[in-house]
Amino acid sequence: MSQATHTALIKAEAKRLGFDFCGVAKAGFLEEEAPRLETWLNGNKHGQMHYMANHFDKRLDPRLLVDGARSVVSLLLNYYPSQTQTDDSAPKISKYAYGLDYHFVIKEKLRSLYAFIQEEIGEVDGRVFVDSAPVMDKVWAKQAGAGWVGKNSNLINKGNGSFFFIAELILNLDLEYDGPVPDYCGTCTRCIDACPTDAISEPYVVDGSKCISYFTIELKENLPAEMKGKFDNWAFGCDICQDVCPWNRFSKAHQEPQFRPREGLLDMTARQWEEMTEDVFRKVFKDSAVKRTGYKGLKRNVEFLKMPT
């Protein structure tokens, strides 16, 4: 079979598995990204996310993750919900955390895709990745034509916005490669203007150490007092820069049953959030991405939102 046939087979199977996009880029060293990543790390824009400074070389070259890597297959899976939280005064959580932890959902699909490749194409070495290894997923998705990286540093797809998870298959298989698409942000600065903590330090650069998602998920110590009143009621993650993006008017509700919100989650009142016990937390957020911050972390965040400025 030809490279074109292999590529068509992989893309068709990805679609059958429920992925919303599948594109391919040639594996190689990300020369343009090296100085950007170095500058970002030297500016301590990763805060206490020390893992971001690890495996610098591997982040820039997938051939160090998979011997003989030839192709990076990038996939998108939509998580935009049909409904959001009903109590406007309740602490908010990012839309991506409404349902089952995306790592479980996507890894199962990726493994199925990889098994299909080995069955239909033959002995192909590779690895699957879902936000859990030193892979610059947005850059590879851009190279594969999935969209452009916007001023808020999120991948934006012209037809579907930015509420997507990104995953990769790195393979030692030559395929037909897609190309990048243009940047359609233009002169728009809505994401920059809307960020309450000024985390988008300049267009296309996000200071992770100032991001609400960083504070509410990654930071394990006390939240800084100077951030009181700046979280816009976000208790886990933050969707502000995506919610204001004009391209997300094209977002469509996902069709993945496992991403459906847990029963009662969207209807929780502010009082229920404030009075949540550990047992309730375990029940509501069982196998949820919210477990990453833990009960104590979530309580810390909710209490911080109530503190006077």
Catalytic residues: 131
Distance of CA 120 to the CA centre of its chain: 30
Task: Look up residue 294 and give its two tokens.
Answer: 């833990």
Per-residue CA distances from 295 to 94, 214, 289, 299 (Å): 16, 17, 12, 6
Q: 3-state DSSP call for residue 136?
A: coil
Residue where the block lists tokens 């890894």:
107
CA distance 274 to 279: 14
Q: 3-state DSSP call for residue 103?
A: helix
Beta-carbon count within 10 A of 282 CB? 11
- Which of 168, 169, 142 minimizes the C-alpha distance to 153? 142
Task: Look up residue 295 and give its two tokens.
Answer: 């009960």
